[in-house]
A = this chain, B = another copy of it.
Amino acid sequence: MKDIQGGVCAPIGFKAAGIHCGVRKNKSKKDFSLILSDVMCNAASTYTQNKVKGAPIYVTKEHLQNNEAIAVLCNSGNANTCNENGIEIANGMCDLAAKELGIDASDIIIASTGVIGLPLSLEPFETHMHELVESLNENGSSDACAGIMTTDTVQKEYAVEFELDGKTCHIGAIAKGSGMIHPNMATMLAFVTSDVAISKDMLQKVILEVVADTFNMVSVDGDTSTNDMLSVLCNGLAGNSEIDEENDDYQVFKDALMYICTCLSRGIAKDGEGATKLLTCHVKNACTTKDAKIVAKSVITSSLFKAAMFGKDANWGRILCAIGYSEANLDVDKIDVELGSVIGKFIVCQNGRGYPFDEDVALKVLSEDEVEIFIDLHDGEYAATAWGCDLTYDYVKINGDYRT
């Protein structure tokens, strides 16, 4: 498996585009994106668990009842959520694209991201649908990625190449994240394309397995959005024999998808609103996987710990505190904690007690833009990893006046 360029257009038979249609006021910001496969795809999605859901979520769920899709349509700047006529607008967007593309509206995955509760008109989409479709091309992934961004500061776009059944296969992806990122799907927008042939059942299975260890282990601010989802489209054009059971090919595809989704998750966490650094928390030797996940997420979610990391302050008491108020089963007196980065790592806590460390070394280690927390619970054999970011002045600034 190797990293390649091309994002969602890296797999065979995918085109993409992203343009400015006017939902966002700033004309230099793209706000309308399309991804299209040459042929029908098997498709699967996971959705936000928020009880308040954006209208596009309902429409996409309806469209994916047959687990097939050929295109993804998405706008940024307006979440089309808590609007009187949200469903009508989401359906209208699909109808416009279907007409222009000569496809069925029910084969479109529709998504929106941005402000909640702001009326959304069809007008900008009507005016610009032709232009969007005309812009579709095999190098369009980066434009499509730009069109789904909100407060993101960097594009999250990845692709890999691997071999299955003697055939060269690809997975590509784009994602937007930033605020409202918290464990429990689907806390961002991520669109994944592949030319692998895989059955609908196996695709549904693999997406759930991968999301549990990737997107659901990311937290930026503890808020779960109303609109976010992950969709995977597989068009089978790589020519491998279809994966229809949990065989070796399934494992190869799962590993590649896990890698791509881990890249997206790390990218989303590192580009959390206002973040200056990526925090990765590794928990090992927990008595169950669930306990390992609870501990890793609790640490990565603590506002006090996140603020300390912004301040490059090795205030490990806050790690112990966050472990302690989690619901995990553990023995406090067995806990070891190390902090590290590319420079090296140092022990801060052994058997639940403070362990002397050099403050100068600590400052250097914590000044890096990727910091790791290693927690050994000495209580079993299960492990988990969670990703988050520091809490900064800019998070407050960005969210103190998001609408204007």
Contacts and interface: CB of A to CB of B under 8 A. Distances in A.
Contact of A223 (B81, B83, B180, B321): B321
Interface stretch (A2-10, A65-73, A281-289, A323-331): A323-331
Most B CB within 10 A of own CB, among A81, A320, A404: A320
Contacts of A79: 317
Contact of A320 (B82, B222, B332, B392): B82
A398 to B, nearest CB: 8
A349 B222 contact: no
A304 B354 CA distance: 34
Nearest to A331: B51
B317 A82 contact: yes
A63 to B, nearest CB: 22
Nearest to A116: B317
Contacts of A222: 222, 301-303
Contact of A116 (B320, B332, B396): B320
Interface stretch (A128-136, A142-150, A307-315): A307-315
Given A82-B352, A320-B116, A352-B52, A180 B396 contact: no
Q: What's the number of copies of this chain in the assembled complex? A: 2
A61 interface: no
Interface in A33-86: 49-53, 79, 81-84
Contact of A354 (B118, B224, B301, B398): B118
A321 B400 contact: no
A324 B393 contact: no
Interface residues of A, number: 63
A288 B225 CA distance: 25
A94 interface: no
Given A223-B302, A303-B223, A396 B392 contact: yes
B404 A313 contact: yes
Interface string A372-404: 000000000000000000011101111111111
A323 B50 CA distance: 8
Contacts of A51: 323-326, 330, 332
Contacts of A223: 302-304, 318, 321-322, 325
A290 B82 CA distance: 25
Contact of A401 (B313, B320, B323, B404): B313
Given A224-B324, A307-B398, 5 more contacts: A52-B321, A82-B349, A82-B354, A221-B303, A304-B399
